[in-house]
Structure 1
Amino acid sequence: MVAEIPLNSSENSGPLLGRHQFLAPGVETEIPTGIIHDECEFLFHEAGGKKSASYENVNCVLRMKANRLQEGWIRIDFQPEIHHGENQLRRTAAGEAWSLKMSQKIDVRVAQRFSMTLNVGELALITAIPHEEGTLGDRFFCRDDQGTKKQRVLCIRVVEAGSPAAALAR
């Protein structure tokens, strides 16, 4: 489930918005965070220090894959991706061949990938530190809405993991 919460809540704050998606183990999916930027600069914290990069027409995406470890346990891998630029036909791998697909350029942020292990019924929340302006988390999960900074929260809950047909609720 994805929810959006105003950082400075008041009586005039809107309700939480959300949607659900189920993912079977071994299946990879893209989860757009819903934050789209016409133009922005990202600040990356990496082993060598801080680096920055600018992009246009940005769509922030978390690539997610769930793997069943044993009965009741799932490892979830997250790969942040910055989809940017214009949509155009691009060559993509399709099995043992190549195909053409309409897509943007993709900057895969390998240094920022992460994983977590959850048991049935456990819940994980993924979001940003709201005052870390320009970071990957800020760009993926925070946006300005008419002068009010709003923050999104990605909720992951394992609802079943005992069989190969196990699913995750998002």
Structure 2
Amino acid sequence: MSNLVDLEQAVEKKVVKMAGYAVAEDKMLLATLGLGSCIGIALYDRYQKIGALGHIMLPENPGGKIITKYADTAIPFLVKKMEELGAKKRRLTAKIVGGSNMFKSENGESVMKIGQRNIEAVKRYLKKENIYLKADDVGRDYGRSMYFYTEDGRVEIKSFKKELIVI
């Protein structure tokens, strides 16, 4: 396995910002940086080598226009964008990262539980869409950055608290 690729050295790369997304074909590096309570979701069709990366901020859309911000609207949207490139929904797998407990009260209790709510919503909507959750690195109390390689579906996770993780 390779080590984390410097974004500047990658041949083709795209950084996904908060509430953003990217869909790409073979040999792209998609990255989202600084995931706290948000969820980075990588969807992949390994036969077509088509991938999508989304940076989901909240569980449900209350009617907002930025549909990629919310788990319930982002997941079907990403599937649709992948299908437009030739992916088949029945072959999609998912990997998710983030959902940390970033907000604590003075006594250490979780406040708002946004990270946990995001994890639960993403898993619920993946199940609803019949997309297999292949791997995750979620929860706990630290941020992460996620690097998704569409060539092979590999996801590398970097954080200050742990060594490089590959899922």
TM (normalized to structure 1)?
0.28
Which of the two has higher C-alpha Rg?
1
Q: Which structure: greater helix fraction?
A: 2
Normalising by structure 2, we get a TM-score of: 0.29
Select the structure that is richer in strand.
Answer: 1
